[in-house]
Amino acid sequence: MPAYNAEKYITEAVQSVLGQTYPYIQLIVVNDGSADGTAEQLAKITDSRLTVIHQENKGQCAAANAAYKAATGHLIKFMDADDMISPTFIQKQVERLGNRTDAVASAAWGRFYNDDLATFKLNPEEVWQDMPPDEWLAMAWGSGASMMQCALWLIPRPILERSGLWDESLSLINDFDFFARVLLAGKQVLFERDAILYYRSGISGSLSDTKSAESLKSAFRSIEKGTGSLLAVNNSKRMQQACANVWQSYIYNFYPAVPQLIKRAEANVKLLGGANLKYHAGGLTKLLMPVVGWKLMAGIKQAYNRLRYATSNRVTNS
């Protein structure tokens, strides 16, 4: 569990793991050079199953790799420092895997807002079933987006030894590359409906909320690596279209920023035979789309998000 300036949520996240019904747990938290009270919050937790490693700030991927290298267990789960999971989550996934070392267990998930679990709602997906990994990725990516958040997965160590660890050069959507490699290093994804991730949404300033030019380069590279991993295993037309849709989603999400990367993403869509992904629009956006087109709408949304992010930072720092 990498932790950077996570004092607000780290105790809740740690207790979510230590409170699991599955008894054989080793939790390793890597405090990645936090400048807030993360270290102090962790020091208050006295549990022999918790190990805390303090290091200078090296980034989320480096912290996750450090935690893995310190772990001794056969089954590995990566988590963020604001994650919460249902009390039987790990037990259910362990039971689902059984003795298999060639499969990865997945889980159900939903969002909650404003730190209020009463707002939690499951978010069912087509991939909530047992599937071969290439089929799972094709189905998940076919919609242009998928939930590949780290806490969803329980991974046998032999699979990680084949897939390799987190790419420490990546930041934004680093999980896209990593979990593509992880899933493809196994033979099957096994879905466990009774393991539930409570995904915290609306945290201003989180890594996924940060859209600097450097982070968009990271997202591009992560998609490049992830789609490359899938196509190296299965280069069928279906897989190509799923990958094209991921690139189209990148264009929709980040246009008009980083125009050179947008052009390269458009070239990738064309090279893969074209995408069939529509621009996601709802409410007022859906009404305006036929009039102004998706590019203008994307520009308006980007400007709004930049303003919201800047405003939240001013409030936080005041």
Task: Over range 10-15, report the average pLDDT.
Answer: 98
- Asked whether the beta carbons of 127 and 140 are under 8 A apart, the reply is yes
Task: Over range 43-69, report the average pLDDT.
Answer: 98
pLDDT at 309: 52
Could you report the per-residue pLDDT of 230-268, keeping only the tens digit for each? 999 999 999 999 999 999 999 999 998 899 999 999 999
Task: Over range 166-193, report the average pLDDT.
Answer: 98
Could you report the per-residue pLDDT of 194-215, keeping only the tens digit for each? 999 999 987 654 444 457 899 9
pLDDT at 295: 75
pLDDT at 240: 98
pLDDT at 316: 45
- Asked whether the beta carbons of 64 and 29 are under 8 A apart, the reply is no
Residue 25's closest CA among 75, 84, 83? 75
Using CA atoms, how far residue 248 sits from 51, 190, 220, 252, 310, in Å, is 42, 28, 12, 6, 27
- How many angstroms separate the CA atoms of 166 and 69, rounded? 12
Identify the bridge partners of residue 197 per DSSP, sorted by sequence position: 85, 109
Could you report the per-residue pLDDT of 276-292, keeping only the tens digit for each? 998 876 666 655 666 56
Question: DSSP strand E in the chain: where?
Answer: 2-3, 27-32, 50-55, 75-76, 84-85, 103-113, 116-122, 155-156, 188-201
78: pLDDT confidence band, cut at 50, 70 and 90? very high
Q: Would you say residue 303 has pLDDT above 90? A: no
CATH topology of domain 2-209: Spore Coat Polysaccharide Biosynthesis Protein SpsA; Chain A (3.90.550)
pLDDT at 290: 62
Task: Over range 51-77, report the average pLDDT.
Answer: 98
Could you report the per-residue pLDDT of 15-49, keeping only the tens digit for each? 999 999 999 999 999 999 999 999 999 999 999 99
Task: Over range 164-193, report the average pLDDT.
Answer: 98
CATH 3.90.550.10 positions along the chain are 2-209
- Asked whether the beta carbons of 148 and 140 are under 8 A apart, the reply is yes
Q: Would you say residue 315 has pLDDT above 50? A: no
Could you report the per-residue pLDDT of 219-233, keeping only the tens digit for each? 999 999 999 999 999
Average pLDDT value for the chain: 91
Residue 53's closest CA among 61, 37, 41, 42? 42
Could you report the per-residue pLDDT of 96-122, keeping only the tens digit for each? 999 999 999 999 999 999 999 999 999
Tokens 């987006």 correspond to: 145
pLDDT at 292: 62
